Structure 1
Amino acid sequence: MSIGIHDLAVSTAHHVVDLAELAEATGVDPAKYQIGLGQDRMSFPAPDEDIVTMGAAAALPLLERHGTDGIRTVLFATESGVDQSKSAGLFVHELLGLPRTMRVAEFKQACYGATAALQSALGIVARNPRERVLVIASDVARYELDTPGEPTQGAGAVAMLVSADPALLAIEPVSGVAARDVDDFWRPNDSTTAVVDGRLSLTAYLGALTTAWDDFAAGGGVGAGQIDRFCFHQPFTKMARKALKGLAQHTGVELGDELQEATFAYNRELGNTYTASLYAGLAALLDQDDTLAGTRIGLFSYGSGAVGEFFTGIVQPGYQEQRRCEAVTAELAGRVPLSLSEYRELHATEHASGTDLETPRVTQGPFRFAGIRRQARQYEATQG
């Protein structure tokens, strides 16, 4: 029996910021963002959007296609949580009308959280193959204006249905892991924006990759030459290029960018989606390539602070039937552009939990953040 990702879907926010416009407005050569970072645009949420609305929107098509039978667990991964205690998954659980007989929890470890949730889901299904697990990764990446991190912002979500005998990707059992306490990136409790040491973050990422790879190899994992495609966490897509080059140097195996090029299509448009980034890359790869059946994909997940994991999966025959390329492309194309002044105004907007709030109706997505009432966040469907 194989266990893995049966289906996955991507969703994002209502607005988009063109990085070429941001560069020109701040006196930066656009090539610094488009080539130096490998990014073209970044999604930005409307006032009535957040990780909950994006996560629920990503999960909705999975339930519409497969129903809720057997789903007894929702695992929500994020590093931009909306509550210090309550799982964002419980808001999603209510919005989606999921059964009451269900466990719901939130996972946090920077961008790595979705992989922790996925590994937990695999264990749940291994214990009872009749169960399915809904894993949601959703984040809004925010940095201070006029800082080096600003062009690496973004917003998006990926939802995955994990099951026995998956239709998309069967996860292989060997996994290599790495952990180290390092201050490369973090967000204090009293801050809505992250703090990052870019140079240290690059070093920590590559160090976690080589450590996780060595652990993967020591545990009986396949050699680098036996992996047909690679998919790395992409805080910006150029980082994945550096990662593949670093792995090639570490293993002594020639690994060209053609082995991961297709994974960049969505993340160049979304920007950094933190926990969703790796799996948005996986969705892009599966959507862009018709020749993957039976191939092995190597995936590296990284979360600052820092944790890394390298694992592999086998693409299943008929995976093309599960794809949603047209839906993702349409959602990306349908985002409403923000002028630089509108973007900066939205960026500065914060919702104080102690004040009642009713948000303006902006999003065209299926769910919206309606506001705050008696310090509790309110959500609603936009139709029906």
Structure 2
Amino acid sequence: MSRPQNVGIKAIEVYIPKNYVNQAELEKFDEIPSGKYTIGLGQTNMSFVDDREDIYSLALTVTSRLLENYNVDTNNIGRLEVGTETLLDKSKSVKSVLMQLFGENTDIEGVDTMNACYGGTSAVINAISWVESSSWDGRDAMVVSGDIAIYSKGNARPTGGVGAVALLIGPDAPIVFDPTRGSFMEHTYDFYKPDFTSEYPVVDGHFSLTCYTRAIDQCYQAYSKKITKEKGKTVGVYDHFDYNAFHVPTYI
């Protein structure tokens, strides 16, 4: 079997619940200056779920829609990765719940990657690495990422929301991934969920922004070093990249 070429995204499906809070109305309710959420955070609405939806239903919905809308043969899926930080069970994975959609095809590798924000990205990287590896058996991979982000009353609450995305990963894709990556990871306590009885995280917003901008810079430096082969030399942001996508609402 020939090695896969042009590995990337072959199909995308997004699901956002129909229930939402208008951010302009939330500004009035919180009695804060107009535009703090809509302009400052760049958001017009914040989605939420009712008692009939959870991370399982979100993942099932977006996965089933991808399979149906793109006529994906479930037997042609060899890896399924899930990225989330929304837990309903500390042992049973969301991936195992999604296996209901794949019929008799039980030969599917992959599992959940649990991590704040980065879980979905890591799941995509894992899927790509599988397609490019010696373990690849010619089938495509799927990545499902979703979360229910809720916060207690305060400054962080308008940054919440709900959504899920499903990606079909494989060779000969219209959106091809650059094989060069720059990564950065460190031990910090800017955002974490130590209380298993609560959905609310502990957040230090200003420190988290510092961590984010430092991580962006370090990833850029690491990527540039791999491209230029020289330490301290960077690629031009505007010359090398066509578009720059950042973490919302913490864009820069």
CA distance in 2 between partners of 1:26 and 1:213 (Å):
37
* Aligned with residue 53 of structure 2, among 27, 49, 55: 49
* Aligned with residue 173 of structure 1, among 179, 193, 207: 179
Aligned to 2:162: 155
CA contact 1:178–1:212 (8 Å) conserved in 2: yes
Give the 4+ runs in structure 1 shifted more than 6 A. none
Q: CA deviation at 1:62?
A: 2.0
Q: CA deviation at 1:211?
A: 0.4
SS at 2:126 equivalent:
helix
Please identify which structure carries the higher strand content.
Answer: 1
Does residue 1:233 correspond to 2:247, yes or no? yes
Does residue 1:114 correspond to 2:128, yes or no? no
Distance 1:129 1:226, change over 3 A: farther
Aligned to 1:23: 27
CA distance in 1 between partners of 2:62 and 2:104 (Å):
15
For residues 152-175 of structure 1, give each alpha carbon's deviation from its aligned partner in whole angstroms, at most 9, with x where no partner exists: 1100001001101113x1001100
Equivalent AA in structure 2 for residue 226 of structure 1: H
Question: Taking structure 2 as the reference length, what is the TM-score of the superposition?
Answer: 0.89
CA contact 2:79–2:141 (8 Å) conserved in 1: yes
Taking the TM superposition and a 5 Å limit, the aligned residue runs for 1:58-77 are 58-64=62-68, 65=70, 66-77=72-83
Aligned to 2:232: none
Instruction: Report % sequence identity.
Output: 31
CA contact 1:130–1:164 (8 Å) conserved in 2: no
Question: What is the aligned residue count?
Answer: 236
CA distance in 2 between partners of 1:182 and 1:98 (Å):
43
Aligned to 1:143: 151
Aligned to 1:86: 92
Equivalent AA in structure 1 for residue 94 of structure 2: A
> Where does structure 2 lack aligned partners over 5 or more consecutive residues?
229-234
SS at 1:136 equivalent:
strand
CA distance in 1 between partners of 2:247 and 2:132 (Å):
26
SS at 1:173 equivalent:
coil
SS at 1:175 equivalent:
coil
Aligned to 2:139: 131
CA distance in 2 between partners of 1:132 and 1:52 (Å):
22
Q: CA deviation at 1:97?
A: 3.9
CA contact 1:129–1:164 (8 Å) conserved in 2: no
Q: CA deviation at 1:96?
A: 5.5
Does residue 1:14 correspond to 2:14, yes or no? no
Q: What root-mean-square deviation, in Å, do the aligned CA atoms of Structure 1 and Structure 2 show? A: 1.6
CA distance in 1 between partners of 2:172 and 2:104 (Å):
23
* Aligned with residue 108 of structure 2, among 102, 107, 129: 102
Aligned to 2:216: 209
Q: CA deviation at 1:2?
A: 1.2
Distance 1:104 1:124, change over 3 A: closer
For residues 31-89 of structure 1, give each alpha carbon's deviation from its aligned partner in whole angstroms, at most 9, with x where no partner exists: 11111111111110010101121122112232121222320221111011211111111
CA distance in 2 between partners of 1:94 and 1:129 (Å):
22
Taking the TM superposition and a 5 Å limit, the aligned residue runs for 1:142-291 are 142-145=150-153, 147-167=154-174, 169-188=175-194, 189-220=196-227, 223-224=236-237, 225-234=239-248, 236=249, 239-240=250-251, 242=252
SS at 1:110 equivalent:
coil
Question: Taking structure 1 as the reference length, what is the TM-score of the superposition?
Answer: 0.59
CA contact 1:3–1:171 (8 Å) conserved in 2: yes
CA distance in 1 between partners of 2:104 and 2:46 (Å):
31
Q: CA deviation at 1:129?
A: 6.1
Please identify which structure carries the higher helix content.
Answer: 1
Q: CA deviation at 1:196?
A: 0.6
Equivalent AA in structure 1 for residue 167 of structure 2: M
Equivalent AA in structure 1 for residue 106 of structure 2: R
**Greater displacement, 47-56 / 214-223:** 214-223
**Greater displacement, 158-167 / 92-101:** 92-101
CA distance in 2 between partners of 1:24 and 1:98 (Å):
52
Distance 1:19 1:96, change over 3 A: farther
